[in-house]
Structure 1
Amino acid sequence: MLVGNAAQGLHPVAGQGFNLGLRDAALLAEHIVAAGGDPGVPGLLDGYDRARAADRGGVVRFTDSLVKLFASRLPGVSVLRDLGLVLFDLSPPAKRALARVSLGIRRADAALGAGLDPDMSARTDWDVLVVGGGPVGACAAALLQRVAGKARRPLRVGLLEPARPTPPAADAPLDARVSAWSRASERILRAAGAWEHMAPQRISPYERMCVWPETVPARSPKVLVFDAAYAAEANLGVIAENRLAQCAALEAFAAAGGTILPEALSAVTIGEQGVEVRTGSSIERCRVLIGADGANSRVREAVGLFAHAQSYGQKAIVANVRTERPHERTAWQRFLRTGTLAFLPLADASSSIVWSVDEAVAGELLAMDVPRFEKALLTASDGVLGAVRL
């Protein structure tokens, strides 16, 4: 099976790729727990895939609807959108419902701590072998290892990762590659034992998200606001580095007794008795193989799975910036004619920008010198946080 970016990719405006990948991992653990810890139970993977497809479909539909709503320049759509935002601002129940969607909390996570009693197979080295130790793959392995560790005969979980990253030093500059983790993702990371391995000073909780089209001012009542207070929560989630989650999940997996194999995948053979995975120096046999090796998945290619790809015709420009005004623990997202610009609040008072624009515009922006780029960024953001410095 495939999880994370190996299974699906989302436009950067969604901000949900990381969260959706973690829910993939948690959902798989829940299904294996429900099957008594035996990943080979007939129908288990089919049931998991159906449940995951419903979750993925909901996220994609919500994202596409949001993009179309805010990016449309048709007069009729603009008028209805602006009217709807004003009415939304006057409706506390609608605000609470939308805030709950932002939190990403859809199901209880109690099953993640349940015990197992698996029926082990002597013909394989691993019950589950995960290929790819990125944030999602490492979290999937850690979840399975922790719930399996409570069993009388634990699952054998292995993780194939040739290059284990080094955790960032507590006082090191923040990486430019960050993600918005929902409250649901935080719960999953805690269930995996990863949260306790993260440096809290590198994590930035955010309490609000403001979304608006370029046709209205940034501080207008027509701005769509997601606020944690509407759902009686302390925050909507956190902004943190992808590397922080990856290193913490790998540490949690190892601490729970998991085995990390520092090897790269070279070939996969699927047989009646399981899956055979070849690396540069060994052959590993498993009952279930999880491909969590990214958008250009070797597992997906090796087993001949088809990937449907649709280009958005855009590129995302990512950087950490300083702003004249404080970010107010708020994620700011403006929909423009040529794409979308987001400011994500970071723990050191700076902000991470994700500027998704048409490819031709991206080329022009990347060719600018620093002062011109900063001026373009100020204009595109409608000055919501004042002057911007790279």
Structure 2
Amino acid sequence: MIPSAVNYNDPQEPARPREALTVSLITQQIKMLLEETLPPFWVTGEISNFKRHTSGHFYFSLKDEGAQIPCVMWAGRNRSLYFTPKDGMQVLVHGQVTVYEKRGYYQLDVWQMQPAGLGALQQAFEQLKQRLQAEGLFDATHKIPLPRFPQRVGLVTSPTGAAIRDLVSVLRRRWPSMQIVLRPVRVQGSGAAAEIAAAIAEFNEYGKVDLLIVGRGGGSLEDLWPFNEEVVARAIYNSKLPVVSAVGHEIDFSISDFVADVRAATPSVAAEMVAPEAREIRNLLLVQLRRGFMHLKRKAQLYRERLHRIASSYGLRQPLNVAHQRTQELDELFRRMSQALRQRQERSLLELENLSKRLNALSHASILRRGFALVYRKADGVLVRHAQQVHEADLIRVQMATSAIEAEVITPP
């Protein structure tokens, strides 16, 4: 510390040699005074003596008509720039005054830098556009087609702007069943680009939407600038979900428009592009159904006529005629067989009748009717064939044709 006994503000009291300060000590005091007294600030000026060191650091001066200040922007910070600084460029920088002790001069430690004025912004836009195009971020081969009938759409926009009202209104009117998922972000000002890029990455991690609409309503070039920053462009390029860019009005073009899979002139147009018109789809389905019905009707009539022609053709008539003839032959055979069976049956009945007559003529009943009789011993029912088979006083049974009598043997044989 500087010795307190010495009054450096009093010109009448010169410092004694034994109290002299070292260069390092006074430089440290100046460093502390500047860095602790001056807060971070924004300053505008023209770049001069710009140099990019092999380490990646930027060294340059910022000047106006009356003064200049040395500046440094370290590699870790300048990598996020969306333009290439050049001598003569008007810029707006944010940083803090520091002291480079080895050389004993102050410099501005730049944290952020952006072009100052519309011309500088347009130049930065063209530089970034050319660089990203050279890297292939605009290639059509990388574009993802939009789904024909999305069920859920993710919106990356401000929750309070006109864009969200237009998007929701058009989506609900055209496709009422569509679900809308909003990731609210700032769409202008410092930090907006980082929020937009983070929202796109979050939707990809979430994965439960079919596509994204990223955008905002109209505004100045400065207002739309977050959609021209490289961090947003790379987030869109890396998205696995289809992205529709809807930034500003029809005449506005942003870097996001070139990187996105589809560019919409306005948020309303974006909604119309992603949401089919329900009434048109319904009418289209009705037309397709009618066409399908008429087509099937014509096909059925065509097949009916073809079947009729085939059924009437000689190739099918000939087998039918043959079948008819074979059926007739079978009927004739059946008739002949039936007749033969009846004749056979009649002959058999006649033969059976003759045999019956012969059997009847030979039966004992027939003999008995001619006056003969059968004699049985009553005691055991044995047929008496000889007189010696009975004795006096035996009872016999005499069987005649129609009746029987009992008798007693009186005269022995």
Larger Rg: 2
> TM tier, shorter chain?
under 0.3
TM-score by length of 2: 0.17
TM-score by length of 1: 0.18
With a CA cutoff of 8 Å and minimum separation of 6, indicate the structure with the bigger relative contact order: 1
Per residue, is there more helix in 1 or in 2? 2
